[in-house]
Amino acid sequence: MLRSKIIATGSYTPERILANSDLEKIVDTSDEWITERTGIRERRIARKSEATSDLAYEASKNALKQAGLKAKDIDLIIVATVTGDMPVPSTACILQDKLDAKMAAAFDINAACSGFIYALSVADAYIKNGMHKRILVVGAEILTKFTDWEDRTTCILFGDGAGAAILEATDGERGIISTKIHSDGSMWNLLHTPGGGSKHPTSKETINKKLHFIKMKGNETFKVAVRTLESLVVETLRENKLKPSQLSLLIPHQANLRIIQATANRLGLPMDKVVVNLERYGNTSAASVPIALDEAVRTGRIKEDDYILLEAFGGGLTWASALIKW
């Protein structure tokens, strides 16, 4: 059976660290509040000169190195991001140029925090129908350039980073078993960046009104996220006739430790079977799942034949899962 297999992963996070104690000096907050409510202790901040494609480039180089491949071996690049370098062209095209991946078609996907899993599902379908053989899938974000540093309800949450995975066509039982993607556009305004698009093109007014920054109704989003992710992971396992005890690792989107714990509890999974790194990176949107996946691979937490479940929830609203036999 033709499947797509993740043959290598890579990630990159900027060097500069912003700790909760630094945020105490910027807005009316405390390390205690942030840690208790979110689990986040610090996050990485990109340099002024760095664009999202630069982070994506570093993560992709690491993945190519792990795979022992050259960029010209890749025939498609998909970048999931909501903080691309510019509206046109796609960040994937800029990444293609930086990598000199001449043989690859390239496009972006916007599914906010679920973007990497959405991109995986597209890549998986292209590989299964024979259109592409080797695909680079990247989740990359510089959220901190779209963050309102005067809004304590959002600025404590976000960080920058990138993660990448290389998928290859393979015969056999191992690889991506299933992907599920969902959306509910009726709740688009729970999490959005209103300015800079065709609805509110950039003007002095949009800037004065801070419409170019990310807005989130955190508490409402939290409730929908918990409810939705709990049923998503249960359904994903049920449809694939797997018991939670057969899962080796859950790799969730890193938005809030309480959301992650609720999802793990619903499956009866002990936390040592859950990858958590948000204390170091915060919420990096589309980058969070591939960074966590890469850390799990590099620290030896994933072994051959393990069942791994990826899941994410984000603006759109969107939510998605991917079940993998490693």
Candidate segments 8-16, 150-158, 172-180, 238-246, binder of ligand COA by CB under 6 A: 150-158
DSSP state, residue 283: B
Q: Which residue number, 74 or 275, has a Cβ lying nearer to ligand COA?
A: 275
Candidate segments 30-38, 48-56, 136-144, 265-273, binder of ligand COA by CB under 6 A: 30-38
Kindly state whether residue 225 participates in binding ligand COA, applying the rule CB under 6 A.
yes
Specify whether 265 is catalytic: no
Q: Which amino acid is at 276?
A: V
Q: How many Å apart are CA 129 and CA 274, to the nearest integer?
A: 32
Q: How many Å apart are CA 142 and CA 281, to the nearest integer?
A: 12
Specify whether 110 is catalytic: no
Q: Which residue number, 93 or 251, has a Cβ lying nearer to ligand COA?
A: 251
Kindly state whether residue 256 participates in binding ligand COA, applying the rule CB under 6 A.
yes
The closest alpha carbon to 165, from 111, 112, 122, belongs to: 122
Other beta carbons within 10 angstroms of residue 182's beta carbon come to 16
| Options 93, 155, 253, 256, the catalytic residue | 253
Q: Which residue number, 34 or 127, has a Cβ lying nearer to ligand COA?
A: 34
Kindly state whether residue 240 participates in binding ligand COA, applying the rule CB under 6 A.
no
# residues near ligand COA by CB under 6 A: 20
Q: Which residue number, 31 or 50, has a Cβ lying nearer to ligand COA?
A: 31
Among 76, 138, 156, 320, the residue binding ligand COA under the rule CB under 6 A is 156
Q: Please, what is the minimum distance in Å from the beta carbon of residue 259 to ligand COA?
A: 6
Q: Which residue number, 133 or 217, has a Cβ lying nearer to ligand COA?
A: 217
The closest alpha carbon to 139, from 117, 162, 167, belongs to: 162
| Options 93, 113, 132, 256, the catalytic residue | 113
- By CB under 6 A, the residues from 41 to 100 that bind ligand COA are none
Distances (CA, A) of 289 to 139, 167, 171, 220: 8, 15, 25, 22
Q: Please, what is the minimum distance in Å from the beta carbon of residue 269 to ligand COA?
A: 19
Kindly state whether residue 37 participates in binding ligand COA, applying the rule CB under 6 A.
yes
DSSP string spanning 102-146? TT-EEEEE--GGGHHHHHHHHHHHHHHTTS-SEEEEEEEEEGGGG
Q: How many Å apart are CA 158 and CA 40, to the nearest integer?
A: 9
- Residues 6, 324, 43: CA angle, nearest 5 degrees: 75
Specify whether 113 is catalytic: yes
**Residue 74 CB burial class (10 angstroms; 0-12, 13-18, ≥19):** buried
In this structure, the dihedral spanned by the alpha carbons of residues 256, 244, 231 and 279, taken in order and rounded to 10 degrees, is: 0
Contact letters (x/-) for ligand COA, 185-224, by CB under 6 A?
------x--------------------------xx-xx--
The tokens describing 114, both together, are 């679920």
Query: Residues in the site for ligand COA, rule: CB under 6 A?
Result: 29, 33, 37-38, 113, 152-153, 156, 191, 218-219, 221-222, 225, 255-256, 259, 283, 313-314
Active site residues: 113, 253, 283
